Amino acid sequence: MKKAYFLTLLMTLIFCLSLAFSQPYGASKHSLDSSQDQACTAFRINASDGTIILGRSMEFVSNFGDNITLVPRGFQYTGTAPNGKPGFSWKTKYGILGASCYDQPQFTDGMNEAGLAVSSLWFPGFAEYQEVGPENASRSMAPWELTTWALGSFATVEEFRDAIGKVLVWNAISLAVGTTTPQHYIFYDAKGGCLVLEYVNGQANIYDNSLGVMTNSPPFPWHLTNLKNYVELRAQNVLPVNISGIEITGTSQGTGMLGLPGDYTSPSRFVRCVALTQTAYPPKDAAEGVNMAFHILNAFDITKGVVRTEDNGKEVSDYTQWVTVKDITNKVLYYRTYDNLDLRKVDLNMLNFGGNKTESVSLLEGREEIQDLSNRFN
């Protein structure tokens, strides 16, 4: 057993080194990086009654002027193409609701009225998009436009998988950011489907994702391999062992999860998220599922100042700006923000997706209201 265990560790180390130094898996000289790395986490919970609940956190050093935005059916879009040419054109088939940025219907996280949901997460050091020539300009779009196209066009992840070859995503420069945004994407649907899309070495790589979990770099296959280092984790406490007549017991509860990484790096968050989502008792229904999702999100909450970096000579800090919980079975979006911990929701069933314009509500407004119970004493 020990020999097999150390062999697994050795193989994993070799794989990690190959990621760092080889062209096919590592970051190429053309891949995109950013000094402002996100620490986002996304996951899925399946309730016993069939309800599917999604959780997602958004971490960054500065906010994007985020809104909750509605896009109606029949809204016309034209993608961004090189040299100012018009790119891929489409009209929304489904109404969309989600977190948008820069006062534009560019969705970092959202769902549509058919039950498809998409989260876009930062993918620095590995994202390398596709080449677009003049002959392919009409098929092209920017990385930040992919989520809007998917949400407006498809009801399931399989529909999206079948259509992704129709478009080319290229290294378009975001005027708001000043660079190309390195992103990868996780898709969920109300039928239980889940897939990951990553652009690496100019290729669109799609992976089925039965775990329903995603964080940031490295690529998704690396995270799956890294789980081999944590096969001993379990919800049950470790039983006492007898060594030379002395009974050795754990010092406290939680010995089964001893070694669970608690830092904020992407590999550690991936492992932690898999452990939490896979060992938590399945919620009974939507209400319990939403409650559980917010509890799990607490394990990834970053307070201002805990994660710092230098940006142009200035110290900045990633923090959890907002989190969403999406019930894609009943079509309800819940959210809370760093400055306002009160839960808010938008029920897609109550919205009018038959209008002719987009509508937005500021996602970051307000502070939470604290309920004063002092008058209930004495």
DSSP three-state, residue 374: helix
Distances (CA, A) of 376 to 368, 371, 373: 21, 12, 6
Q: Which residues pair with 344 in a beta bridge?
A: 335
Q: Residue 116 in contact with residue 188, Cβ under 8 Å?
A: yes
Determine the Cα angle at 50 with ends 45 and 52, to 5°: 35
Sequence-separated (6 or more) residues with CB below 8 Å from residue 166: 88, 139
Catalytic residue list: 40
Distance CA 362, CA 255 (A): 43
Sequence-separated (6 or more) residues with CB below 8 Å from residue 366: 339, 340, 342
Residue linked to tokens 């677009």: 132
Tokens of residue 179, six digits: 């660079």
